[in-house]
A and B are shown apart, each in its own frame.
Chain A
Amino acid sequence: MTHLHRGRPILAAAASIVALGALTPLVYLALRSFEGGVGKASTLLFRRRTLDLALRTAALTSAVAIACLILGVLAAWVVTRTDLPGRRFFAVALCAPLAIPSYVSGYVWIAEFPSLAGFFGAALVLSMSCFPLVMLPVAAAFAAADPGRAEVSRTLGRGALRTALTVELRHVTPSAAAGVLLASLYTISDFGAVALMRYDAFTLGIYSAYRGGLDRTAASILGLVLVLMALVLTLAERRTRRGATARIGSGSPRPAEPVELRRWTLPALLMVSALLATAVAVPILGLVRWLVRSFRFTIDWVDVIDTTLATLRYSALAALAVVILALPVALYAARSTSPVARAAELSTYIAHGLPGITVGLAVVFIGIRLLPSIYQTATLLVLAYVVLFLPLAVGSTRAAIHASPVVLEDVSRTLGNTRTRTDIRVTLPIAVPGIAAGGALVFLTVAKELPATLLLRPRGVDTLATELWSTTQVFKYGEAAPYAFALIIVSAVPTFVLDRAIRRRGERSIRKENL
């Protein structure tokens, strides 16, 4: 059932403003692409190399998307819907890869297994970095699912597995698709993994063009192609949402009984352990080797703590800003079928497919001209994070709102509440797990973000990522290791919040007094 919210001018305006802000990098790219004339632009665009890069990027993205879909959904189901021993530990630990920058895990993998260089290595590192992007929203959806249907299915004689495959999977499809989209956009925009694995993808071409010279036209043209790819991916994800149903049934959500794994316990344990080993243990062991091998091993604890606090601050501020700004877009997209709503949501995804250096330079270009008073301050940096990472919150928030029963909103409206009041008192509380998941994703991604942070940070401020960069630039791997470890520890903060949000067992009843 589609639910039209006609005439929500305030919501529409808020969503549109956020969307326009998210599109600013496009303005910059267009300016830079065509400043040398259309002839130069088309020469650069229709090079053999552009096609090569596009095909190689598409191949890598497909591989990572498929791997993340399978691993993410499986892991989410096992840690939220079964009686797996230690599932809470796994739920938290499996988020850690999000905090390990691809330039660190890539470095460790290539150092330990040089033969991985190329497509396979890049696909491996990116899949291990990205599967939590699928796992988190899917876990939230499993946790928020109404067990009623699954119970009906079981009563009708289907086994737990068949029920999971039919009823439950259908319920998490939108979340899974949203997660796969994020993983795909991460893949087309990531530089660290492809650079270290020496896989010649788009970002490598873009960085080469920027770093190799001062001609920003070539880099911008490639950026526009990436925008196109991001658009195609986002539209593809949208198609998967067709046929997704909103909950209209009566009855309040309550936690489902966990599936008993019985003889599947050991295989399931082996699976999540293997995943954990590949995604987290290998990079950590590699870092330990950095420490042990280094002849210049000193830890400046004060600096590590200062830097960690700065990282926490930026990540928290960015998470808060992104979550708040994502709300109108997500709400509008989930509850309206108007073209404006669709366009607004789509807009927030575009910049996410661009490498950080492109968005960073766009913010430099626009920021110093339009907002000189906040140039090179934390405020502008957080705004850049918003542009880069909006979809991380938009997707999971929209999916969560979408999965909450419309009937409750109808009741609330019938009882005389305004739309805004209904949003705040009814819709958003139900979507809290999704909103929290989005915020946590932003937090983790900001903590490890490097290129935009380098370009835009206030002078004299270091984050864990920039320290990691500057120490490894001069081979001080021993000195770099504590910052990398701190980054992994920092990731525990949002994952803890997330875990609480996902597992509010028996606390999800929506009380009548809220209506």
Chain B
Amino acid sequence: MYRYDKYDQAMVDTRVEEFREQVRRRIEGKMDDDQFKPLRLKNGLYLQLHAYMLRVAVPYGTLNSAQMRTLADIARRYDRGYGHFTTRQNIQYNWIKLAEAPDILADLAEVEMHAIQTSGESIRNVSSDHYAGATADEVIDPRPWAEMLRQMTTFMPEFSYLPRKFKIAVIASAEDRVALRWHDFALRIVRNAAGEIGFEVFLGGGMGRTPFIAYRSREFLPANQIFSYLQAVLRVWNRHARRDNIHKQRMKILVHDLGQEEFTRQVEEAFQHFLSLGEDFPQAEYDRIAAYFEPPAFEQGLSDEIDLSDPAFAAWVKQQVVAHKAPGYAIANISLKPVGGIPGDISAEQMELVADLAERFSLDELRSTHAQNLVLPHVRKADLHTVWQALVSAGLADANLDLVTDVIACPGLDYCSLANARSIPVAQKIVERFADAGRQADIGELKIKVSGCINACGHHHAGNIGILGVDRKGSESYQLLLGGSGDEDTTQAKIAGPGFDEDGIVDAVERAVEHYRVIREGGERFIDTYRRVGMEGFKEAIYG
């Protein structure tokens, strides 16, 4: 993984001290909140419903054990003993005191972490495949490219006052594990016929009030031209964006207004200009950064055998463990979706245990996922049982990856000042309703995503079953959506009909699931059945 050099460290340290001074002046009353707000947001500090919330960047979801221990320490020392992993692979703390925020940033800086670009009108933390560097289905490790984009865009003057937030994702496999086409700027690394590395480029995706799936603007962009292309996209957006209307500032709206063809034409024109400036990465710079992502020294000659005589362990392996590129190794997914839990929440003690497991059994690497789970990317198969036992003891061994109880949910009205309805209780009730492991296994892959407002942090547009909480005359109401996907077969979910109350939406989800179980054919997943039969049959089952 990437390590700071003296320049990186100096920049982050300086930023911490700058913010410390800004906080001091705010507390002394020398700035009002209107003046201070953009400064704190530049450092990931929000003011939420109950307290300040700090969102910490986890670039492309990669962490080591020392970083995870620091996250645990922050949870214990400065917060209320837990953190919350988000759908952008970040972690956020919900109960931060303003005066302590600079100390937290200083602690983060000691382990080469920060909260820059986790909020505000910036290029947000670049997300990537949580199996990067471990999976056999990737063309190359996508993280060096994500890191290069991060470095080139952080503190770049033209990107310091964007019309709105801008989200980038990079993957390198056909299977999409990052909800690629729901991003403003989405890159899939591919090889052309000549074996050269390049990017399939998608532009203008995003959820929120006006959802759009990104369209493909380039089938193959030479890799060494990526920064010119990104600059071109941002230049066109910066030039035309509707800065007069907060609901129309995102790039997806401009793409829609101009049309994909015209937007692409203007991008290509600007691209030629930026190419002529010669500001793209020299190969040596790519090589320098890529060296940090060289595969770890996997042991040779390991056995691929796993003793599955323990049924509970076998069930966990079946659901949570996926193939690794190196013989004798496996990728182990850690569920943060226990029955009765809050999706994405993890206690300080659990973080420390996961850090220990990463250090002892995963070559010191960890990943966070956009589905609010964690990953141990490099576990020897011979160690899986030991890892599982430790996870069991910590309440982290649920075997529900991509099943009906692996629910994504935003913090909702329990924490978020933007939300209109609570999303966590809905997620919890769904998980309780479907808690039976046999029933979950029978239902199979089913991705449920819950948002507490139209901003869609819970990705409801991409849910096979999506739930959107709205305010209906001062009460919470929940709309049911069907048919969404954030995978390589990206689709946008559609509203099924009138909304429900909190218990009603859980019943409605169950009716939709039971209808699927009745009409599914062969090995169809829920989404396959929905796509085959369409909305009408489901509507009848849900609404009668």
A-B complex is real: no
**A residues apposed to B, CB below 8 Å:** none
* B residues in contact (CB < 8 Å) with A: none
